[in-house]
Chains A and B, each alone.
Chain A
Amino acid sequence: MGKRVLITGLGTFWGGRAAQALEKDPEVEVIVGLDTVEPKVQLERTEFVRADQSYSILARIVAATQVDTILHTFLVVDSSRMSGTKMHEINVIGTMNLLAAAGAAESSVRHIVVKSSTLVYGSSMKSPQWFREETPRAAPPKTRVERSLIEVEGYLSDFAEDNPHVVVSLLRFSNVLGTDIITPISKALQLPVAPSILGYDPMLQFVEEDDVIRSIEFVMRNQVPGVYNVAGDGRIPWSECAAVCGKRLVPMPPVFTNVAAAPLELIGLDLPPETLDLLRYGRGADNRRLKRAGFEYRYTTAGAVQNFAEASRLRGAVGDSRPAYRYERDVEAFFRHSPAVVRD
């Protein structure tokens, strides 16, 4: 019998792309995707279930579908334009319900993969240049998103301890850049000029979209337990990122930076406090544990930035020429379930 996978956050970049990748894997028999919104990418055989953000129906879904693997991507790692309450609801309460469902008596779940972020290490002047998975934070968390992810990881490690029969894989992704994903950093690099903080040129680290999905696939296929940083090799200065993208840096004042950054929201750029910390101190995560487990990155940090810059230039020249995908419930149901559709 093949794998039966439940993906949370199917409507996000992470969930949608991971589902597409898993559909290609013949060993994966069933893919069920949860989200509050419809998927934004075309899916062949993934079943979409609309759920509320804290997954109150999760226990029933897990029992009904008998999934053995849960991929939990529905975690907010970018706090821009979201209230603290909502983020708490999604990250903390959502994960709590998920783990409650997975840990229930007679649960069929044997492997849980969770997407976290290197945000849990923070970004401060006291930070070491590279965080290994077990390196403690250098300063207490100041931002909501960091506190909420630390809480989520706490629940997960309790769960792993209480459920030794379940393989728990926790992936901490560094900042992602790529063709499709939108983050405060990617938005900042697509403005006519890129913001910086006067006097600071932090060393940043990126992981490319494809490597993100490949690492999720890798961890699911090989069922590697434990905590892993997922981040490209090397770190490069913010000024170099801007130069690769052909952007000039416009400095914000080093004091009251959050006040200076606030009006940028008018042009669609919301720089949350954790991003401002990053633009001041940078952050590095040691990626060698995942490499030792057998994973091979395609892109280095500089490679990810270069790839992003090329994709942005192409989009700038030709625009989004490809037709928009819209999820139509009836059409999707037809392709999946109608006897009229020929399946092999």
Chain B
Amino acid sequence: MATGDPTTEATRPGTLVHLPRTADPKPLPDPRLTDVDEWGRSEKTRQMARRLYRPLYEKYFRVEWEGLEKIPREGGALLVANHAAAIPSDAPAIMHGVEEEVGRPLYGLADHIFKGMPLIGTAWARAGGVPAHPENAYRLLREQQQLVLVFPEGGKGPGKTYDKRYQLRRFGRGGFVEIAMRAGVPVIPIAVVGAEESMPIVFKIPGLARALGVPYVPITANMLLLGPLGIIGYFPAKFKLKVLDPVHFDVPPDQDRYSKSRVMEEAEDIRVSLQEALYEMLRQRKSIWRG
């Protein structure tokens, strides 16, 4: 500072100061210019994203839901789904479907890595993405009773090659179950068929991934067939989504700890039911492209 003040948090020289009007401690209004909420989500951005995505959703992937009525119209719930495709195509489909059909915002938890990426991080936050931190999940589910989507397989789901399609990876350490228990909300599994074929990984280049510091560098069938366009161009696989019965945990919320064995057991049960639902749906599927 010019005054040589060692703390630099100084007042402007020559300014008389208004004392706080303690006699009138009435809270003032909250003047906002945008509709960006505390999570960085903007309903206007979502509306625009949904308008742009609708042709893809309706005409290209021809998304079909079963059991959408199992997603509650009010109260918090943690939606979990299988995760697939080199650039996951399931997250936008689920978010679009739930927000359009149920009419509630859906926050998607994902790795904090996205928050670190310029442009992508901001776009992701405005579209309802939230870094997967237990504090964030608890506040969304318990205190704000929102709908939250998480993929328990994490990056291992989209990062698997095509020969392992529809085979669920490990469900992390069961953290999603613990969060739902603490928040006192049900877990609602969603089985997604179609995403695997929209951008299948033929092989991966682990050396390059290590060098770039990213989870995986895929060579997809799309790239082999479409060239550079295949980096973002999906195949028009038919999407079918099935909502399974909500799983309620018979435990009190807000505990500091939950039995690890119970958590792992519940997580494994959910994984098995999701896996079985996927096999059943694949048994019924006559064509990858027509469903």
Contact = CB atoms under 8 A, between A and B. Distances in A.
A34 to B, nearest CB: 12
A207 interface: no
Interface residues of A, number: 78
B25 A78 contact: no
A292 interface: no
Contact of B6 (A86, A236, A297): A86
B4 A37 contact: yes
B139 A40 contact: no
A344 interface: no
A206 interface: no
A125 B10 contact: no
Interface centre among A183, A296, A300 (most CB of B within 10 A): A300
Given A12-B5, A203-B38, A240-B36, A214 B22 contact: yes
A320 interface: yes
Given A126-B112, A199-B119, A12 B7 contact: yes
A233 B34 contact: no
B7 A90 contact: yes
B115 A125 contact: yes
A240 B34 CA distance: 7
A21 B31 contact: no
Interface in A34-70: 36-37, 40-42, 53
Contacts of B125: 203
Interface string B10-21: 111111111111
A17 B17 contact: yes
B122 interface: yes
A185 to B, nearest CB: 11
Interface majority SS (helix, strand, loop, mixed), chain B: loop
Contact of B13 (A40, A128, A138, A303): A40
Contacts of A179: 15, 17-18
Given A81-B8, A180-B15, A182-B1, A125 B113 contact: yes
B81 to A, nearest CB: 23
A191 B117 CA distance: 27
B4 A234 contact: no
B38 A234 contact: yes
B7 A76 contact: yes
Given A128-B133, A181-B9, A306 B122 contact: no
A138 B134 CA distance: 12
Contact of B121 (A74, A131, A199, A214): A199
Given A234-B38, A324-B14, A182 B135 contact: no
B116 to A, nearest CB: 4
B251 interface: no
A236 B42 CA distance: 11
B122 A180 contact: no
A233 B32 CA distance: 12
A82 B6 contact: yes
A283 interface: no
Given A237-B36, A237-B40, 17 more contacts: A11-B7, A16-B11, A40-B11, A76-B8, A81-B8, A90-B6, A90-B7, A125-B121, A126-B112, A128-B133, A130-B136, A182-B8, A200-B121, A203-B38, A210-B20, A298-B25, A322-B15
Interface of A: 9, 11-14, 16-17, 20-21, 24, 36-37, 40-42, 53, 74-78, 80-82, 86, 90, 125-132, 135, 138, 176, 179-183, 197-201, 203, 209-211, 213-214, 217, 233-237, 240, 243-244, 254, 281, 284, 296-300, 302-303, 306, 320, 322-325
